[in-house]
Amino acid sequence: MLIKRPNEIKATDITDEKIYHARREFLKTSSGAALTVAAGAALPGLWLPDTVQAKIVSLQFKKNPHYVVDEDVTSFKDITRYNNFYEFGTDKKAPAKHAHTLKTDPWTVRVEGEVEKPADYHLEDIIRDSQLEERIYRFRCVEAWSMVIPWVGIPLATLIKRFKPTSKAKYVEFITLYDPEQMPGQRRKVLDWPYVEGLRMDEAMHPLTLMAVGLYGKVLPKQNGAPIRLVVPWKYGFKNIKSIVKIRFTETQPRTTWNLAGPREYGFYANVNPEVDHPRWSQRRERRIGEFFKRKTLMFNGYAEQVAGLYAGMDLRRNY
């Protein structure tokens, strides 16, 4: 029998998972409870440390054929062991080592601000009331490395419509959990905690914008932003905030974490633009994790046809 390794799997080769677990199992597994998964449900031939491999359960989802790329999907091993998640350390391998301290059950997302339905929404209710779908997106980090990731999630526009923002809502602000006991990286003043990010309302409502709860058809690992995170594929990775506990609708542009930490280096928009260099390096080329040679960076990370209209008439060098 021929068994492909994850880094050999094409996007078109990924098949739907038939194993389904109840939403309570989703949350229990995300929090590290001892729930056993059949060996056949795991990725074959793959060794991972305990914090990565911890009882990863399959999700029920529908594959969305409109969101795929004609490129190799990055291996599950690389996606889950090479991360930026400063709440667990600044080294790329630190999140996989330390994220086991995060408790994700129960998990509540507070919705507030310019919205008709402010409330504390339990994650299990968000999952229960939504159709999960798989989307394969390019994912580009500002440090000139990239991946192709099969995310599982909910279109953010679906949730926004449920919350019913008012006519005053021009932006959406997202805030990560702040708990230094669970997130030891927050004990150091590397950044001004908690982590904050934001989108313009039209960006948030764009069909590409996703609230992810899984990847590779499995519940989202903690080091990748469990239990719920933002994925905006045409923007640099730091815009894609993890472990979200609050969504606030505002009339004014949010003050975001990296923009406050380094305004010359990290703009509010964070659109992938090879023509705008980071002050300390070029953004014209990138290295896909798992590959040796670099490749040309694509405008808007390859999603220009879908999103360029959002920025018509804007100076993309000033609004970086």
Q: What is the pLDDT of residues 82-129, one digit of tens each?
A: 999 999 999 999 999 999 999 999 999 999 999 999 999 999 999 999
Handedness of CA 294, 296, 301, 302 (dihedral sign): negative
Instruction: Look at residue 88 in the predicted model and tell me its pLDDT.
Output: 98
Query: Residue length, the chain?
Result: 320
Quote the pLDDT of residue 55: 54
- ω into 106 cis (within 30 of 0): yes
Alpha helices by DSSP H, 65-209: 76-81, 94-98, 123-128, 156-163, 201-204
pLDDT lower than 50: segments of the chain: 1-54
Q: Using CA atoms, how far apart are residues 140 and 298, in angstroms rounded to an integer? A: 10
CA 120-121-122 angle, to 5 degrees, is 120
Tell me what pLDDT residue 56 has: 64
Handedness of CA 299, 199, 143, 225 (dihedral sign): negative
The domains found in the chain, sorted by start residue, are 6-311 (3.90.420.10)
**Residue whose C-alpha is closest to residue 88's, from 103, 77, 101:** 101
Say what the pLDDT of residue 258 is. Answer: 98
Residue 153, Cβ neighbours under 10 Å: how many? Answer: 25
pLDDT tens digits, residue range 118-177? 999 999 999 999 999 999 999 999 999 999 999 999 999 999 999 999 999 999 999 999
User: What is the predicted pLDDT for the residue at 76?
Assistant: 97
> Any long-range contacts for 114-118 (C-beta under 8 Å, 24+ apart)?
114/165, 114/166, 114/168, 114/169, 114/249, 114/250, 114/251, 115/163, 115/164, 115/165, 115/166, 115/169, 115/249, 116/163, 116/164, 116/165, 116/166, 117/162, 117/163, 117/164, 118/163
Instruction: Tell me the two tokens of residue 223.
Output: 């080091």
Are 278 and 142 a contacting pair, CB within 8 Å? Answer: yes
**CA dist list (Å): 100 to 12, 90, 309, 310:** 32, 16, 41, 39
pTM: 0.85
Q: What pLDDT score was predicted for residue 62? A: 96
